[in-house]
Structure 1
């Protein structure tokens, strides 16, 4: 292990443990598993160790920019740069390989009308973009086998019986193009995974490999509400009641499992009730049938539900939906408490308030004039804050908003929830006041990529129809940031390797994208390319894949950038700090604290398809941008035969305060471990930052054929229930080990142990 004298504690990741779905569920070879369909032909020069999986499945995928042309010279230059950079693991493409070699067989262009859509596989996702289609041009037999079969019972879409499917043969059926569908309880030893409308609950049978039982210990299958039946499906009209997203979170002093459904239902279970039933089943000698617990919460948000957030101290829930709204469920603390009654779910348990994008209450208008109206609104606000009734507060984004895949809560200085922070698929970041009823307008912050102004040629031929979409958001308190003593230890690269942005519209930013070359055991080239198996890709020239030929920011035209970057010395110290005055950045000897964006001084992290952005907790502070964090190079216009479209979405974010990390999972099958940092040395040009310490599966895992070529069903992380060498639950923070589980569409699970010790060393991937 290399020494890094300034780091605040090494983050360590164990060797990968792999369990295939075929082995776990004891599925015979005669039964097909969706997405388990491609074997690997290994090229010479790729070394595999003895951890190779018995099935020989190959590695995962993502998609490069659409219509991007990579000729021999460009590719050679890129590869030479990579090979000569420090920390790039010395990886090279196969001998004689160039991305511009004759491509594999192409999918022919559609003639006339657009080709038909595969009903259950249309990746409309939460984005709803018409470009997100799966073309059916000349699919061969293997292609059709790769696609999960949709329901054919159009007459009774809400009564879809998934028990009749191949579940009975031991192959759980997945819902495709969703968000995170797995979770580990942080209190009890069980793992939850959603398969369409079912939630399988299982106890891992090993503290080392996290192996799961052949059959789940308990299955939850809550039915749809009356409103859910009326709303129907967004991704799947034939089977609407499928899970889009699930999380585990603290709700007061209790932990809950919260689920969002495609028919707009939102359902919550107390994990204590799940644990009680697991214990009963384990110790009941009479082997009585399971009695799945009933949900404590079951509501509907009017359209496909996606973003989920729970606030521990305030005991409220937020849900983002394809209505372009966020619903905040405020539970009564006095008076009549909320209690869901399954037989009467058409009853309104919550009083509804609607606030438009200007913060104006839309429920009632008092005819007595502005004074009477203000009196009414102020009285209503006091009533809501008293919380002697259950309230549903609908925060609308208006015409500027779009579908909302992720939400989070912002707190005030006392730790009570005061804001909802949300992202939509246009890239917008929304900061919305919860309690204020008297003209508290939402704050909308564009995606950073919107600062680019394309030229006429780019506008006609190259520039994307839409800017990168936002998929994830987290609120990160100062206590979660690890103290660091140098620039390099804070951001993962040297000051001269970073880029510096300064703009009146977006403020000051540090681009640390080149730090990807310092991430150990990471591959920036797709494993199929490295192993000479490019022919396994399909070519679809009609995919309107977003192309960004240039960076998110033009670093060459701004004099502000040049003047600011010149103030940063080789130690990463700022000689002359900059402050904002009258809309322009000026130098000053003494820095001035900025106004907090959130009441408690927390930072906001926003993720896009490939990029990670950490906004300053101060309005005039310095933000950090990491572009294309999980991207791997591959030939232009290549797609997976079973996916047909980009599935690069950094949408699965889990904050682990004890380890000072964010687990950032992408639908493409890769997961970044992001360490949050807080420089404590003098004259740092920024106050909070981050660095990517590992990307899983590692290059070694890929070369050992452990990573499957299919999307990620979910990523889950929680403390290890076994103490051993990793520490007991009552030991100091940071000494416990965490289990990290990556669950794929082909049912394979890759498991790691992650922990941070007290040694001052760099990241070690064992």
Structure 2
């Protein structure tokens, strides 16, 4: 099986001035253009096959406000309409660019027609986190008032004039004790999740605004995002025996499901009585090349270079009654669950990436796997980078079972999303989910910090990753996988 093709295609500088170093997440890619937030302007670039983006600006957007509005900056008083964050997404069938400003004003631009007047909203305080739900036409914005505002941008008539003046909007979600850099809706639009500087990840009921669950951490939260469980690639024995790991990823440690966040309803099992490894993507099960799932997993984990990726985590039966873990088979697929999760939650702190299980019927965050200390510590760095030591940018590529996490310091890491599905001798089906930290890049990033990253889908199983730094350095990578029978499984470790 051919491995993932990951290669740098563009490394160049563009003219970039006026960037404030406390801001990031200011790069976003639409179907036609690349948007870059610089101070109080959104630069609109055309894509370029060879240069990443065209040097000449295609357009420049400025924040629009309601007439007679009081404008005051919270962080940057000199430029109160400077942009904190931008994001491209869909509301209904229209692609939009959502832009948040330091004054609290939010603009929703229509990417197909940038001459069209944007939708103007206001949170009242410096706005940061952006969440959109396509089919329910919901938009949520988090702000420095430590709450979240949500609007229903439903279509009011066939001419798509959106109604934002209905009574009861925006709805507010209260509970955080500090700023909220990231928010996200689940796939059904029934749950809103938020990551806060107060070191909590919270789940909210979208309809009632009720706080459903609080996950408490020891580090500040910087990103949260839901991902479809089908984006996790299922392993097969034919591929596991061929896995090899590249260097540069051995600093990432994996931790099995934490006993403090388990639910008694969701019993976890060891694989001692599991017979077959199965692939259920099409709703049916296929026999693997072996009947012993333990041999399959052990053959994968026996490679020394792979073993270094993971920190072994051992639980005895006295630690937690919900765990049945054997030290003999203590790898990253130790704990299995009988619950069929439709989606999982990524929760990212300053240093760590956590994969959590969530059920819509019983909202509760359960830690499934954790990659710790992915990037180098910077205690010895005597520069502005010491203030950017946080993982706060994430892009998902579900088609490739891949996500990209990036630190504001400038480095990024490929992370594979993997699942093991087994059928026990009694006929029940168990699943285990994990994340695998792989290649870090670039090898020598600019010593100025990362302004933002963006992903563009070029073709089937072909993507581009854009990385733009504060000094104007633009790096573009191509990420490809060969097109073949979709029931096959690619190499997980590059």
Aligned counterpart, 1:401: 177
1:648 pairs with one of 380, 384, 389: 389
Aligned counterpart, 2:286: none
Distance 1:570 1:191 in 2: 45
Offset from partner CA, 1:49-77 (integer Å, 9 cap, x none): xxxxxxxxxxxxxxxxxxxxxxxxxxxxx
Aligned counterpart, 1:632: 376
Distance 2:365 2:21 in 1: 41
Distance 1:249 1:761 in 2: 28
1:662 matches 2:403 = yes
Aligned counterpart, 2:214: 445
1:268 pairs with one of 96, 108, 114: 108
Contact 1:480 1:676 in 2 (8 A): yes
Distance 1:569 1:501 in 2: 15
1:305 pairs with one of 103, 127, 141: 127
Gaps of 5+ in 1: 4-8, 26-170, 275-292, 341-347, 354-390, 450-466, 523-550, 579-590, 721-728, 730-734
Aligned counterpart, 1:14: 7
Distance 1:564 1:301 in 2: 48
1:327 pairs with one of 146, 149, 155: 149
Greater shift, 264-273 or 559-568, is seen at: 559-568
Per the TM alignment, residue 219 of structure 1 is displaced from its structure 2 partner at its CA by: 1.3
Within a 5 Å distance, the mapping from 1:420-569 to structure 2 comes to 420-436=192-208, 441-447=210-216, 449=217, 467-485=218-236, 499-500=255-256, 502-506=258-262, 559-560=319-320, 564-566=324-326, 569=329
Q: Aligned pair in 2 of structure 1 residues 660, 257: CA closer, same or farther (>3 Å)?
A: same
Offset from partner CA, 1:367-390 (integer Å, 9 cap, x none): xxxxxxxxxxxxxxxxxxxxxxxx
Contact 2:132 2:139 in 1 (8 A): yes
Contact 1:228 1:265 in 2 (8 A): no
Distance 1:330 1:562 in 2: 41
Distance 1:617 1:441 in 2: 17
Distance 1:352 1:518 in 2: 59
Contact 2:450 2:470 in 1 (8 A): yes
Within a 5 Å distance, the mapping from 1:150-161 to structure 2 comes to none
Distance 1:309 1:491 in 2: 37
Q: Aligned pair in 2 of structure 1 residues 610, 227: CA closer, same or farther (>3 Å)?
A: farther
Per the TM alignment, residue 686 of structure 1 is displaced from its structure 2 partner at its CA by: 4.8
2:54 pairs with one of 205, 213, 222: 213
Per the TM alignment, residue 256 of structure 1 is displaced from its structure 2 partner at its CA by: 0.8
Aligned counterpart, 1:693: 438
Per the TM alignment, residue 217 of structure 1 is displaced from its structure 2 partner at its CA by: 1.7
Offset from partner CA, 1:179-206 (integer Å, 9 cap, x none): 3101111x22x2111111111111133x
Q: Aligned pair in 2 of structure 1 residues 498, 565: CA closer, same or farther (>3 Å)?
A: farther
Distance 1:593 1:410 in 2: 18
Aligned counterpart, 1:241: 81
Per the TM alignment, residue 668 of structure 1 is displaced from its structure 2 partner at its CA by: 1.0
Aligned counterpart, 2:470: 745
Aligned counterpart, 1:715: 453
Distance 2:68 2:25 in 1: 24
Within a 5 Å distance, the mapping from 1:196-207 to structure 2 comes to 196-205=39-48, 207=49
Specify which structure has the higher proportion of helix.
1
Larger radius of gyration: 1
Distance 1:621 1:639 in 2: 35
TM-score relative to the length of structure 1: 0.51
Q: Indicate the structure whose relative CO is greater, using CA pairs within 8 Å and at least 6 residues apart.
A: 1
Offset from partner CA, 1:243-297 (integer Å, 9 cap, x none): 11111111111111111111111111111114xxxxxxxxxxxxxxxxxx24431
Within a 5 Å distance, the mapping from 1:108-127 to structure 2 comes to none
Specify which structure has the higher proportion of strand.
2
Distance 2:95 2:202 in 1: 27
TM-score relative to the length of structure 2: 0.77
Contact 2:64 2:107 in 1 (8 A): no
Gaps of 5+ in 2: 270-300
Aligned counterpart, 2:26: 181
